[in-house]
Structure 1
Amino acid sequence: MAENARRKLGILISGRGSNMAALVEAARPSDCPFEVALVASDNPEAAGLAWAAEQGIATFAQSPKGMPKAEYEARIDAALRSAGVELIALAGYMRLLSPGFVGRWAGRILNIHPSLLPKYKGLDTHARAIVAEDTVAGCSVHLVTEELDAGAVLGQAKVPVLTGDTAEALAARVLVEEHRLYPRVLAEFARTMTDPSLARVRSLALVLPEVEETSGSDGPSFSVDGTAFARMIAGGLEVRGESGWRTLTVDENADWTAIGDAIAWGWELAAPQSLLEAGGR
């Protein structure tokens, strides 16, 4: 990928930002599809800010204390846009983003969460996995939406829960996988931003309930409850139909209303009955 095709990434942190550091390291090679344009924080004392500055990366800090949320987020938003940011990664950012902020960056904010979503949204994920006697834990990269930890899952990594595990020990092993997963998924996501047709397919698929995205040799595949309903192939898109897979052409001249309907119908064919009974899409 040419240097001028790299997507500019803004990273939001609240503390030391170990996942931020993993993204910065991943972005060093010139063929990485993203470059870190700004590291911003709600905590001017965040250790990650000093580290990023040492790496020559622009930083921005704004404490929200005593400030209306809208004003605080407007300052963060302005800093991101001034740096030319096209894509945002949350990396240990401990503040909930408002619907207004999420709406302005819809489809362009990613987060990494230390559980296998949709399990264990929110905090204390490792302890909750141990109490539930899960045999497998892990982490998920997902799109950020207005609802906490509810956006489409773009990738996951699994870690076994060992006999006698503590939350701290499990967290340490999951963190190793976070540092591997986040750069890989973010790179895949950034690459699709260079292909307008692929980006449009993604926008149609990921708005459907409980959709997960996985990478394939020709592009992403989209599934619900483990069953694929749409997948990119060389030169087009395959969508699940009643009599099998059908191939659609996706380009600037395509009928995108029909493609959206086909993707939604494929989702309904793949979705479990429980999800359809709950209201479907």
Structure 2
Amino acid sequence: MTDHKIAILISGRGSNMMALVEQARGYSVVLVASDKPDAPGLAWARERGLATWALSPRGIGKAAYEAQLDAALRAAGVTVIALAGYMRLVSDDFVARWRDRIVNIHPSLLPLYKGLDTHRRAIEAGDAEGGCSVHIVTEELDGGRLLGQARVPILPGDDADTLAARVLIAEHALYPRTLAEFVMSPADHIHAFATTLPEVETQVDGDVTRFLVDGREFATVAGDRLILPAEIAGEAIALTDAFDRPLVEDRIARAWEVTAPDRLLEVGGR
């Protein structure tokens, strides 16, 4: 599976950064960067052997700051940027340079309550739920494509602080899971699903991965194609970013079932 190189941008303690580091799957954190050289999260990252970078934009301006940040990201081989409590708005030019490769977590159920004071606004509106959203960063504030959300009930007597504390717990679960799903290629998704099926083994030869149960092949990924038994899929399935994951996973599971030995099916199969 592809191991993407992630940079995490913070401005403070970065509790979501800590969750992304501790729950990393399908990606490696290669840099923690900040616009605040004294950000507490930088010390936490260094203690864990992570590379860090910090520079204040004061005195040099936004364009010069972002140019040096961009250079540090590229020097580290970064493929995706995760904003985690990063309190600066990134410029349109920076977004363009990293188009569709910057993600952010926002403490509301977007498109509700873009910007600040999200918990107070949700309570004052009488909402039954608050929550958080992971989204692609675009030139529009908190307006990019949604990747995932988690809902948190608003309880009687809640204020902005109590609601924020519960939403933060949801953020720590949602962000690492959503980032892992975002960076995974279609082939990665298939590998992750197929290997959850009982007694599955893999054989890798270049860009061909074969999935076997009891020594019998039931699915093959060859480049950007998925090949299944003829009775399951008459022709290869093209693997694009828009592939139908639930449908493909169902077909892989059916292919496993028609290939697996009776002893596995007799004890409940998958």
What amino acid is the match of 1:159? Answer: V
Distance of 1:85 and 1:57 partners within structure 2: 14
Match in the other structure for 2:16: 19
Distance of 1:11 and 1:18 partners within structure 2: 11
Match in the other structure for 2:204: none
Identity %: 62
Distance of 2:153 and 2:86 partners within structure 1: 26
Match in the other structure for 1:73: 66
Change (3 A) 1:181 1:21: same
Q: Which runs of 5+ in 1 are unaligned?
A: 199-216, 219-233, 237-246, 260-281
Q: Which runs of 5+ in 2 are unaligned?
A: 195-224, 228-234, 243-270
Match in the other structure for 1:152: 145
Does structure 1 residue 168 correspond to structure 2 residue 161?
yes
Deviations 1:5-26 (A, max 9, x none): 3100000000000000000101
> Residue 40 of structure 1: SS of its match in structure 2?
strand
Distance of 2:53 and 2:96 partners within structure 1: 22
User: Post-superposition shift, 1:250?
Assistant: 3.5
- Within 5 Å, which residues of 2 pair with 1:116-195? 116-192=109-185
Distance of 2:170 and 2:36 partners within structure 1: 26
Deviations 1:33-73 (A, max 9, x none): 00000000000010000100001000000000011211100
Root-mean-square deviation (Å): 2.4
User: Post-superposition shift, 1:77?
Assistant: 0.5
Say if 2:186 and 2:239, in contact at 8 Å, map to a contact too: no
In the alignment of these two chains, the number of paired residues is: 202
Q: Which runs of 4+ in 1 moved over 6 A?
A: none
Does structure 1 residue 250 correspond to structure 2 residue 238?
yes
Deviations 1:141-165 (A, max 9, x none): 0000011000001000000000110
Structure index of larger Rg: 2
What amino acid is the match of 1:22? Answer: A
User: Post-superposition shift, 1:248?
Assistant: 11
**TM-score (normalised: structure 2):** 0.70
Change (3 A) 1:251 1:165: closer
Match in the other structure for 1:212: none
Distance of 2:23 and 2:237 partners within structure 1: 34
Distance of 1:154 and 1:21 partners within structure 2: 20
Match in the other structure for 1:104: 97
Match in the other structure for 2:88: 95
Match in the other structure for 1:269: none
Distance of 1:149 and 1:131 partners within structure 2: 21
Distance of 1:194 and 1:76 partners within structure 2: 32
